[in-house]
Structure 1
Amino acid sequence: MTNLAHPLNIAVAQSHITPDVHANGRHLRALMQRAAEKGARLIQFTECALSGRARNQINNWHRVDWEALDSELTETADHARKLRLWTVIGSNHRLPPPREPHNSLYVISDKGVIVTRYDKRLCASDGSSLWYTPGLTSTTFVIDGYRFGCALSTEVHYPELFAAYERLSTDVVLLSCYAEEAIFAIEAQAHAAINALWVGLATPVATSRSLPGGLIGPDGNFVARARRGQSALVVATIDPTRPEYADMHDRTRLRRAQGDR
């Protein structure tokens, strides 16, 4: 855990996802506008927020209009530049045939540049390995001194992934899930508390009645959470100086020391 004293505002979006990537793009950019107006430095969207998700909005890769998706991603990046807003957005990433696409999170800087991309690595437990090519590595990036990591959907079931991010001195893990099982939030809260991490949990409107999104603090409690069943934007502050987080640095140092034995 980085020794930081200044707060950072981030937005977690609960968005609609449709088979129409142009409609998705317009909706996401409207939420970006709201996030910027509320003083957010970063906005996190859910899994496949721009492209639609295989087996939900997509039933055949050959019918995907990849050029339209590329156009919407470019327009969204340009909007991030105009708003000076870091944007983390879920989308399918095309690979050369015959490989299936990646299930990815694009990280767009406040200058409108795609600085990195996270590709979901652990796909098998939900059957998505039949649709997606797994990624290979963790992904981190830094905003104003805070280190962020990324995870997608059923990767919440793998504690070793979150422990690895903690060893990389990550402060915040952005977990984007197209899922409706309430256990996902419980697991995310556990990973946050065990590893002294903030966890952004972004979910779509379609699954939010049982799994609303929000921001989880390093004590495992939600700092803020979206309303169920509607498009929503949660803007919350990452603030390491809050009294309830006073012992998180000590817990992290002790755990690392024990792991080195």
Structure 2
Amino acid sequence: MTKIALAQVAGGRGDPARMLDAAGRMAGEAAAAGASLICFPEQFVTGWSPEIPPGSGEPLDGPLTVAFGRMAQENGIAVAGSIVEAAGGLRPRNTVVVLDPGGNLVADYAKTHLFSPGGEDRYYTAGDQIATFSVGGTTFGLAICYDLRFPELFRIYALAGVECMLVPAAWPCCRLSHWETLLPARALENRYYVAGINTASGPDGVYCGGSLAADPDGVVIARCGPGEELLIVELDPATVHEAQSALPSLSDRRSDLYHRLLSKL
């Protein structure tokens, strides 16, 4: 069994140092509750924005990643945090970094599907790789917010042996019903756990929280309200393999046919 913590916080208050201090306290609470990993929402330190000046961001080993590493070390817990990653001469990437309890970077994932309705694709560079890592005997995969609408990515993670997907997000109130539908759907169709970590409600009224975790049957096993909250979720990797064996939809796929049909479009 693996315990994880979903840290639903209201981001972007204009004071990164205070945000990191508050996150550190949550990491301590999560570790005290027996969690092996804590995951925060998308760009929670600064607040997500689709518009970002050219040349913005920091390197993968920059100040925020270092701060997350220190947080992990001080609390003895793996930390999944979010940064704006500088990408050389390219536009920056929207990236999640994972630090192990020793403060070492063990995974990084750049958002694959950029939110074009908000113009994110005009300011960021899309990622083109998946990222997996293991904590407490469970294999995790990473996606970010808008990625949730693309089942192809989640299927690739299932074929890669992932047992739980983490989806940090800044998902607005106006589409919260989509969030509540898609997270369990991604879990059910791939027969693994999916945990969505959303931004808590704040003074701007854009976000409404609703972080949740769904099991391999698509059943919601834990859910947050709208405000700031630390949600502890227990995962059983054996449940994933039992579910996939009982209903072997992954092995019944016809990938050869799918490729042929796509080639005719």
| TM score, norm. by length of structure 1 | 0.85
- Note the alpha carbon deviations across 1:26-64, whole angstroms, 9 max, x for none: 121111111111110001111111243224xxx543696
C-alpha separation between the residues in 2 aligned to 1:168 and 1:63?
34
Aligned-partner SS, 2:47 = coil
* Change over 3 Å in CA distance of 1:101–1:218 after alignment to 2: same
Aligned-partner SS, 1:249 = helix
Gapped runs of 5+ residues in structure 2?
257-265
C-alpha separation between the residues in 2 aligned to 1:15 and 1:224?
16
Matched, 1:79 2:71: yes
Q: Is the CA contact 1:175–1:201 (under 8 Å) kept in the aligned structure 2?
A: yes
Partner of 2:101: 110
C-alpha separation between the residues in 2 aligned to 1:91 and 1:124?
17
Q: Alignment RMSD, CA only?
A: 2.4
Q: CA deviation at 1:124?
A: 4.5
* Change over 3 Å in CA distance of 1:176–1:138 after alignment to 2: same
How do residues 21-100 of structure 1 correspond to structure 2 at under 5 angstroms?
A: 21-55=16-50, 60-61=52-53, 66=58, 70-97=62-89, 99-100=90-91
C-alpha separation between the residues in 2 aligned to 1:60 and 1:108?
25
Partner of 2:262: none
Matched, 1:213 2:211: yes
How do residues 124-139 of structure 1 correspond to structure 2 at under 5 angstroms?
A: 124-126=115-117, 127-139=119-131
Matched, 1:148 2:145: no
C-alpha separation between the residues in 2 aligned to 1:208 and 1:219?
27
* Change over 3 Å in CA distance of 1:65–1:107 after alignment to 2: closer
Q: 1:89 corresponds to which letter in structure 2? A: G
Q: 1:233 corresponds to which letter in structure 2? A: L
* Change over 3 Å in CA distance of 1:51–1:70 after alignment to 2: farther
* Change over 3 Å in CA distance of 1:63–1:16 after alignment to 2: farther
Percent pairwise identity: 21
- Note the alpha carbon deviations across 1:192-240, whole angstroms, 9 max, x for none: 011011111101113553x410221111121111121x11000010025
Gapped runs of 5+ residues in structure 1?
1-6
